[in-house]
Amino acid sequence: MGSSSELKILPTSSELISSDDAPVDNEDQNFIPNYLLFLLEYVWKQRQDWYFAVDMGVYHTTGANPRVPVVPDAFLSLGVPRQKDGQSRNSYVLWEEEDVAPSLVLEVVSHTPGGEYDSKREIYRKLGVLYYVTYNARFWQRDGHLPLEVLKLVEGEYQLQVGEPCWMPEVGLGIGRCGLPDDPLGRETLSWFDKQGKRMLSEAETERLRAEEVQRRAERLAKRLRELGEEV
């Protein structure tokens, strides 16, 4: 970080654009990050020390121009408030966030490569992003990579992590691929997992499973009563 005199000339968040306004070229770039966000809002609903953003500019001072952001498909920062000064953020400005870099960045690779495996990855390395996740379900063979890669920053360099879902102890979450139950489109998405590798569920999924269990118990009870010759 620069000196106090340099800080005075850095733009404020109100002066900076919120994203690069680049259109997405496949549905996954919207659906997957937003699914992770909505799921996390339920899983961590009691916590106020995290921030997850989708398609938001991250402003930093490691590049040539602090007015030029890097825009991940999604990122998660820990140790920062859900809201900045009681309001929603328009962008994530590191010099206004006590230099707290995202702990996790997600890029969903699309038909048009966007530097996910080179230029963007280098930016995240310089920023100190601990986990860099790329999801490339459709074009991984074209790009010579795995469909899902989780890189961890170790001594200044990214190392590919083995196993899926991948548990990230510093974040307190695992990440991996899954299908969504009852999804009429049969889509694959990314989800959060616990340390035991069990997929974390949304509120709707939890309620559905609870209702199904109540129904199963009722059916077992009815069957038992019939066996005993009781009217149900």
Q: What is the pLDDT tens value at each position of the chain, 232 positions in all? A: 554 445 557 888 888 876 666 655 678 889 999 999 999 999 999 999 999 999 999 999 999 899 999 999 999 999 999 999 899 999 999 999 999 999 999 999 988 888 999 999 999 999 999 999 999 999 999 999 999 999 999 999 999 999 999 999 999 999 999 998 778 888 899 999 999 999 999 878 766 656 556 666 766 766 777 778 766 5
Confirm if 91 and 24 have CB atoms less than 8 A apart. no
pTM of the predicted model, to two decimals?
0.85
Entry field: residues in the chain: 232
Burial string for 141-163 (b: 16+ CB within 10 Å, else e) reads eeeebebbbbbbbeeeebeebee
Q: How far is CA 88 from CA 41, 82, 102, in A?
A: 15, 8, 17
For residue 165, is the peptide bond before it cis, meaning its omega torsion is within 30 degrees of 0?
Answer: yes
Computed on alpha carbons and rounded to an integer, the radius of gyration of the chain in Å comes to 22
Q: Rounded distance, CA 3 to CA 223, Å?
A: 75
